[in-house]
Amino acid sequence: MKPALSSPFLRACRREPTDYTPVWLMRQAGRYMPEYRAIRERLGFLELCKNPEAAAEVTLLPVERLGVDAAIIFADILLPVEAMGVGLEFSRGEGPVIRRPVRGAADLERLADVDPREATPFVFEAIRKVRAALKERVPLVGFAGAPFTLASYLIEGGPSREYLDTKRLMHDDPAAWRLLMERLVGVTVGYLNGQIAAGAQTVQLFDSWVGILSPDDYREFVLPHTRATVNGITAGVPVIHFGTGTAGLLELMRVAGGDVIGLDWRVDLGEAWRRVGYDVGIQGNLDPALLLAKPAEIRREVEAILRRAGGRPGHIFNLGHGVLPETPVDHVIAFVEMVHELSAR
């Protein structure tokens, strides 16, 4: 099936002119939607991720309900590392937990080698089902965690505030750190290319926690591995490179690679685009909390972000992170409509 090359979303990924600014949302299928909550009453999170029919159903919900310009496959960044034998669990209300974290070179030796084709066939099957259902209405985004963010989960055992164990391993045993990152690069590239082969037309690399690093640490311990990941992705498929808390790392993220740089809400979009250069696209960057505000306030901020983008080709409207569970669905629908209306050329 040929990609919908004329879609506003894919045209924006290639920095081509569009009739309006395309918009989609991270976590656009999630707990704020009653349909999703109903499915989760029947299925645990991992069960849902591993059920291609249910994952496809959840992926398609926002396309029908919200009018967004892209779908994103319902999955999780930790799925490909589960097969490494780290004891991944998703506890209700707590998020992911790694029962056997990696804290040193000895722990690396017990990690199983992972072939994503064997470890995550359910993700690829869900993608095939979504593409068949979407036909050419909107493109489908695949995604993966960037090597640093995956490593931080494996080392910390879950989300962290300070990432002390991660930074300790980086500095105390750089050889072990490099080996871990190289293995994660291989897994991530295989996982993303498997999604592309199954039908994903764009991929997003989530480096959700990389903003906790200094520029020097990013340059030494992360950038080469992120660049290797981006370079290993199937040629011709647009790559969105996203992180949070990355205002001090944007130029380095640009060097690491990606056709589009995703921004969180803590940075001015116009200034950020100037810093990374107009030869890449930009994605973002409404504060997710603003979707809880009155529609008039949402509209005001949408106008401000569009003004900062300056009408340049290559802007994809999104939030600065995922939709919050408390968000009213009608506010999300109104937000998407506002972006389309206010950006019409």
Active site residue 191: no
Residue 243 lies in a domain: yes
pLDDT at 2 over 60: no
Angle at 117 between CA 115 and CA 121, to 5 degrees: 130
- pTM for the complete prediction? 0.96
Q: Which position among 11, 69, 131, 153 bears the catalytic label?
A: 153
Q: 109-113, 228-232, 257-261 — which is least confidently predicted?
A: 109-113
Residue 2 lies in a domain: no
Domain that residue 30 falls in = 8-343
Residue 45 lies in a domain: yes
pLDDT tens-place string over residues 247-256: 999 999 999 9
Residue 3 lies in a domain: no
Question: Can you give the pLDDT at residue 159?
Answer: 83
Question: Can you give the pLDDT at residue 1?
Answer: 37
Question: Can you give the pLDDT at residue 5?
Answer: 62
Question: Can you give the pLDDT at residue 3?
Answer: 43
Residue 244 lies in a domain: yes
Question: Can you give the pLDDT at residue 158?
Answer: 85
User: How many beta carbons lie within 10 A of that of residue 70, not counting itself?
Assistant: 28
Q: How many domains does the chain have?
A: 1
Question: Can you give the pLDDT at residue 90?
Answer: 85
Active site residue 15: no
Question: Can you give the pLDDT at residue 6?
Answer: 83
DSSP string of 71-92, one letter each residue: EE----TTHHHHTTTS-EEEET
pLDDT tens-place string over residues 43-96: 999 999 999 999 999 999 999 899 999 999 999 999 999 999 999 988 766 678
**Six-digit token string for 294:** 């009155």
pLDDT band at 101 (very low <50, low <70, confident <90, very high): very high
pLDDT at 335 over 60: yes
Active site residue 27: yes
- Domain of 261, CATH number, reads 3.20.20.210
Average pLDDT, the chain: 95
Residue 1 lies in a domain: no
Question: Can you give the pLDDT at residue 4?
Answer: 54
Q: 2-11, 23-32, 124-133 — which is least confidently predicted?
A: 2-11
Q: Is 138 helix (H, G, I), strand (E, B) or coil?
A: coil
Q: Which position among 31, 100, 266, 308 bears the catalytic label?
A: 31
Question: Can you give the pLDDT at residue 94?
Answer: 63
Q: Which position among 27, 103, 131, 299 bears the catalytic label?
A: 27
Longest pairwise C-alpha distance within the chain: 58
Question: Can you give the pLDDT at residue 228?
Answer: 98
- The answer to whether 291 and 322 have CB atoms below 8 angstroms apart is no
Question: Can you give the pLDDT at residue 249?
Answer: 98
Residue 71 lies in a domain: yes
pLDDT tens-place string over residues 135-171: 989 999 999 999 999 999 999 998 888 999 999 999 9
pLDDT tens-place string over residues 283-321: 999 999 999 999 999 999 999 999 999 999 999 999 999
Residue type, 283: Q
Higher pLDDT: 48 or 3? It is: 48
Mean pLDDT value of segment 274-282: 98
Residue 310 lies in a domain: yes
Q: Which position among 20, 40, 65, 227 bears the catalytic label?
A: 40
Mean pLDDT value of segment 25-38: 95
Beta pairing class for 260-262 and 281-283: parallel
Q: Which position among 76, 207, 259, 264 bears the catalytic label?
A: 76
Question: Can you give the pLDDT at residue 91?
Answer: 73
Q: Which of 99, 116, 210, 231 is nearest to 156 (CA)?
A: 99
